[in-house]
Chains A and B, each alone.
Chain A
Amino acid sequence: MEKDRQVKLQIDKVSLSFGGVSALVDVSLDIRDKEILAIIGPNGAGKTALLNCINGFYKPQKGEIYYEGQKITRMRPDKLARLGIARTFQNIELYTHLSTQDNLMAARHVLMEHNFIAGALYLGWAQKEEIEHRQVVEEIIDFLEIAPIRKRIVGLLPYGMRKRVELARALALGPKVLLLDEPMAGMNLEEKEDIARFIIDVFEGQGASYPDTPVLRDGIRSIILVEHDMGVVMDIADRIIVLDFGRKIAEGTPAEISSNPEVIKAYLGKEK
């Protein structure tokens, strides 16, 4: 690994337990600029718990987390979202009664400024801001190809579509670090390909095709991906970390991981 690449997010000996259950035990890892890091591991290994620690939803009992050098361990989740950490959820957590478009607008919240008084009057400033952000949202909708469901209430969308809206909402936050928790669960192969392509496109940045939307234009340089589909993980991850029973049991490139005997035993099973 190139050591000189800047460390975006550093997790330092984090431990988390619930009563008797230890979800994480002394986990250390870092994610650097310009990489897609995959976290894999059996069910209940602590992957989701780790993401929850990163964005402040769980407060680890031990260890520290640094984001761009700043300690963020016990920060409130909404502050972290403002700092640029966005995520999707394993069990879809959308705002069920809002349309797709409003779900994304609700995520733009952190980047908007007008307060309820300006909103109530809806004069100049608030309206201008609404329109500006609406434009960004439309670009994201266009990018993720969800235009037909723009005005649909998300609660009634099929499972796969909701996952996609979640990804869109995470992008709408304009994050610098993106955490994805099983973004492809419940999709068929073709749809997984779509999502994989979106992830890669977001990672690489789209430049001029989306001039007004910084996340799409410049890309998100650090992505953490939790996923059970090994095909996807092996193909798109730069580096993989394997958790088991809350411990990190391996770390390395896809090639290294797929031949690691411990990983095969705990997680992958025999190659067919």
Chain B
Amino acid sequence: MLQVNNIEVVYMNVIQVLRGVSLDVSDGKIIALLGANGAGKTTTLKAVSGMLRTEEGEVTDGSIDFDGERIDRYGPEDIAAMGISQAMEGRRVLEHLSVEENLLVGAYCRKDRAEVKRDIERVFNWFPKIKQLRRQMSGYLSGGEQQMLVIGRALMARPRLMLLDEPSLGLAPLLVEEIYEIIARINSEQRMAILLVEQNVRAALGIADYGYVMENGRVVLDGPAEKLKDNEDVREFYLGLSAVGSKKSYREVKHYRRRKRWLA
């Protein structure tokens, strides 16, 4: 349903961030997008959701198609209306709105009022912690609570494709597990396709069907999740397993600057 074809993205006319990224999200699948800090994962998501424009960024080459329609020149509102919703990184809650209002904003474009009410309750069921705080101004929530709210808000739109930018960021371990269960459930129940950017590679590859690894603005590796998990580099750099398969201790990390990345 979503095809990103060899796009290049340039910020402020001078800073080139993506240098030819292609990926594919097909109906109802979960796709993981992995990569180090600054690889361009967030930028890729922004390119899809049309959010680049407000940051002086631009897709200078390549194209993005959604259901066969080319969307890389559309505004973010139009793209959202087509059924793509993004949970942005950095816990972007609407601070001065209450938790409930935040969720309502998420469902703004939906007409089915009754269904929206039910969805709010559903979100509260997934995240009981924020249910207690439903009248609280969201700016006062703790980091993790805000993260739950952002995910909940993205879900409220009932999109066909959801772009999740690091959903597990700052969540307690118990909750990370839950979140992934929820994502998997939504994916299977609502046939919602998900493009997932994650640093928690273990969890992401656990539910994803397919994965891409980005490096320096390029896709350097892709394949079905199972195959990626077995890739030697992925195992070492992302899963923290040495060749033998045992886990290293953080105390014993070596003091030299290590070999980095696939491509120089």
Residues of A within 8 A of B (CB): 18, 21, 41-45, 48-49, 90-92, 145, 156-161, 182, 185-194, 196-197, 200-201, 228, 230-232, 235-236, 267-269
Contact = CB atoms under 8 A, between A and B. Distances in A.
Nearest to A162: B37
Contacts of B201: 188-189
Given A186-B199, A236-B250, A43 B38 contact: no
B253 A196 contact: yes
Contacts of A159: 37, 42, 89-90, 166
A48 B142 CA distance: 8
Contacts of A188: 34-37, 199, 201, 237-238
A182 B172 contact: no
Interface string B130-144: 000100100011111
B20 interface: no
A191 B170 CA distance: 16
Interface centre among A145, A190, A236, A269 (most CB of B within 10 A): A190
Given A48-B143, A91-B143, A187-B199, A43 B175 contact: yes
B145 A44 contact: yes
Nearest to A264: B174
B251 A186 contact: no
Contact of A43 (B42, B89, B148): B148
Given A188-B37, A188-B237, A190-B237, 6 more contacts: A45-B142, A182-B143, A186-B169, A201-B255, A267-B172, A269-B173
Interface in B114-160: 129, 133, 136, 140-145, 147-148
A100 to B, nearest CB: 13
Contacts of A231: 240, 247, 250
Contacts of A18: 140
Interface centre among A18, A188, A236 (most CB of B within 10 A): A188
Contacts of B136: 21
A200 B251 contact: yes
A186 B199 CA distance: 6
A96 to B, nearest CB: 12
B91 interface: yes
B37 A235 contact: no
B255 A197 contact: yes
Interface of B: 11, 15, 34-39, 42, 89-91, 129, 133, 136, 140-145, 147-148, 166, 169-177, 199, 201, 237-240, 247-251, 253, 255, 257-258
A235 B251 CA distance: 6
Nearest to A193: B253
A41 B201 CA distance: 22
Nearest to A266: B174
A269 B177 CA distance: 9
The 9 closest A-B pairs by CB, nearest first: A43-B144, A160-B37, A158-B38, A235-B250, A196-B250, A44-B142, A269-B174, A188-B199, A90-B143
B167 to A, nearest CB: 11
B173 A268 contact: yes
Nearest to A232: B250
Contacts of B170: 43, 90, 182, 185-186, 228
A42 B239 CA distance: 24
A156 B11 contact: yes
A88 B113 CA distance: 42
A230 B38 contact: no
A18 B91 CA distance: 21
Nearest to A195: B250
Contacts of B171: 43, 228
Contacts of A161: 37-38
A92 B142 CA distance: 14
A187 B39 CA distance: 12
A208 B132 CA distance: 53
Contacts of A267: 172-174
22 contacts: A42-B172, A43-B142, A43-B175, A44-B144, A91-B143, A145-B257, A157-B38, A158-B39, A158-B42, A160-B36, A160-B37, A182-B170, A186-B89, A186-B166, A187-B37, A188-B35, A188-B199, A189-B240, A192-B250, A196-B251, A197-B255, A235-B250
